[in-house]
A = this chain, B = another copy of it.
Amino acid sequence: MGDSPAMTIGEAARVTGVGIHTLRYYEKQDLLRVPRTANGQRRFGPSELASVRFIAQLRKTGMPIGTIREYAEMVRSGTATADASLQLLENHRDDVLRHLDEQKRYLTAIRLKIAAYRAEIQPDEPAGDGAPT
């Protein structure tokens, strides 16, 4: 049990946290290729699990399905397109970086709003709970 080298889709869902339906969907979208047993059941080995986990990360950082598919295709075609896939990943890193900066800016704006708000509704300043401002 655990990462033994060929899990069913249910086990893969449990260990990756991705959801059976979603795993099948990702395969149908060609983000992922999963080997089958003689009677057609999917078997997730370590490399498939690694793919799933990486795809999940790309998704959580906002990469659209279509772009992940492009990436997956390039990775599959091997060294011929290695530069391109690296490039894609670097672009995504930069996107994430920009997103982070943007979020930080919004965060300070929200904090200012909170501070203004607080000042407005209770001009005196009790101790507070130590939470970040």
Contact = CB atoms under 8 A, between A and B. Distances in A.
Interface of A: 54, 57-58, 60-61, 79, 82-83, 85-86, 89-90, 92-93, 96-97, 99-100, 102-104, 106-107, 109-111, 113-114, 117-118, 120-121, 131-132
Contacts of A131: 90
Contacts of A97: 107, 132
- Mostly, the A contact residues are helix
Nearest to A89: B114
B86 A54 contact: no
A61 to B, nearest CB: 5
Contacts of A106: 57, 60-61, 96
